[in-house]
Amino acid sequence: MNKNIVGIDWGTSNRRAYLIDQNGACLAEHEDGQGMLAVGGREHFGASLAGLLAAMQLPADSPVIMSGMVGSASGWQEVDYLDAGVPLTQLPQHLAAVSDPAWAGRAHIVPGYVYRNGDSADVMRGEETQLLGAIAQGHRDGWIVLPGTHSKWVLLKDGVIQSFATYMTGELYAMLSKGGTLSAMLTGDASDAEGFATGLNQAARNEPLSNSLFRVRAGVVSRSAPAQQAAATISGLLIGAEFAAARDAGQGISVIGSPALAARYASAAAHFGLKCAVLDPHQVYCSAISQFIKA
């Protein structure tokens, strides 16, 4: 490509755009709430993208590469998943051109990945682009963790996905906060270190999660545990459940996440005896887009 390129991480609720030059440097960033749900239907994605380019004061014919929910069944255009066996470095060869005539030839969507294991399957959309960026930064082997609404644990070997698993950690915490018997207890400080460690300890026992969650409530109502630590304990339980399931994480993990989330996962990793390297999600995404330019 002979001009700067716009990379867009288009999620369910939010989107973030980066202007990347031919050397892979980030020239500008833009973030807004125009995620998939806010766009208002498939027929409005083109106008939404035009608005984004205008907000960034970029030419309307700027080449665009988009990842995330924009390629889902509810997005602008559904793009088939790649099999996990396809190397991440081959993503530039599998971009899907947007079929909308107004964007033909200059807007493309990154496909997600599917991992099949017997009669079960797991999928990702958006995380594959961050994984490509991590590989570009030299992280070709080992466990990559991408925390968030749906946390991903991905095992890489020489840049190829060996397996991955999704945990509805962020979504579960949000749902528990909105209603039910635990909601009143989730108004406290979720970052309380002692409460978080209590939750991690309980998760390490690998007991049924629904029972462990109820016992947080029982501890509070029986005055056996401080109510102000309940939110942090539940956070520790949910995040700790991921670590308890990843018994084969070896010596350590690399986490791609916001500073607050990454710090929490680093704390959990230390609790479970794992080393933890933290990768900046914005730098990782820019590294990924630079790979599309080089291709």
Give the tens place of pLDDT for each residue, 232-282.
999 999 999 999 998 777 779 999 999 999 999 999 999 999 999 999 999
Helix H or strand E encompassing 59? none
Q: Estimate to the nearest angstrom the gap between the alpha carbon of 79 and the chain centroid.
A: 18
**Residues 66 and 109 placed together within one structural domain of the fold:** yes
Which residue type occupies 111? P
**Three-state DSSP state, 77:** coil
Residues of the domain holding 270:
126-295
CATH number of the domain residue 196 falls in: 3.30.420.310
**Residues 115 and 144 placed together within one structural domain of the fold:** no
**Residues 49 and 73 placed together within one structural domain of the fold:** yes
**Residues 183 and 40 placed together within one structural domain of the fold:** no
Integer CA distances (angstroms), 62 to 7, 99, 105, 206, in order:
10, 16, 10, 50
**Residues 113 and 132 placed together within one structural domain of the fold:** no
- Domain end point (choices 119, 147, 179): 119
**Residues 257 and 143 placed together within one structural domain of the fold:** yes
Q: What is the pTM of this model?
A: 0.94
- Domain end point (choices 58, 91, 119): 119
- Domain end point (choices 100, 119, 138): 119
CA–CA separation, 130 and 11 (whole Å): 13
Query: pLDDT tens digits for 183-223?
Result: 999 988 898 999 999 999 999 999 999 999 999 999 999 99
What count of residues does the chain have? 295
Task: Name beta bridge partners: 109.
Answer: 66, 96
State the angle between helix axes of 193-204 and 259-271 in degrees (0 to 180), rounded to the nearest 10: 50
Task: Name beta bridge partners: 111.
Answer: none
CA–CA separation, 101 and 54 (whole Å): 19
Residue with token string 């590989």: 135
Residue 35 has pLDDT above 50, yes or no: yes
**Residues 82 and 8 placed together within one structural domain of the fold:** yes
**Residues 168 and 280 placed together within one structural domain of the fold:** yes
**Three-state DSSP state, 4:** coil
Query: pLDDT tens digits for 101-153?
Result: 999 999 999 999 999 999 999 999 999 999 999 999 999 999 999 999 999 99
Q: Exposed e or buried b for every residue in 172-189, given b needs 16+ CB within 10 A?
A: bbeebbeeeebeebbebe
pLDDT band at 51 (very low <50, low <70, confident <90, very high): very high
Helix H or strand E encompassing 254? strand 252-256
Please tell me the predicted confidence (pLDDT) of residue 24. 80
**Residues 170 and 65 placed together within one structural domain of the fold:** no
Q: Are 50 and 26 in contact (CB under 8 A)?
A: no
User: How many domains does the structure of the chain reveal?
Assistant: 2
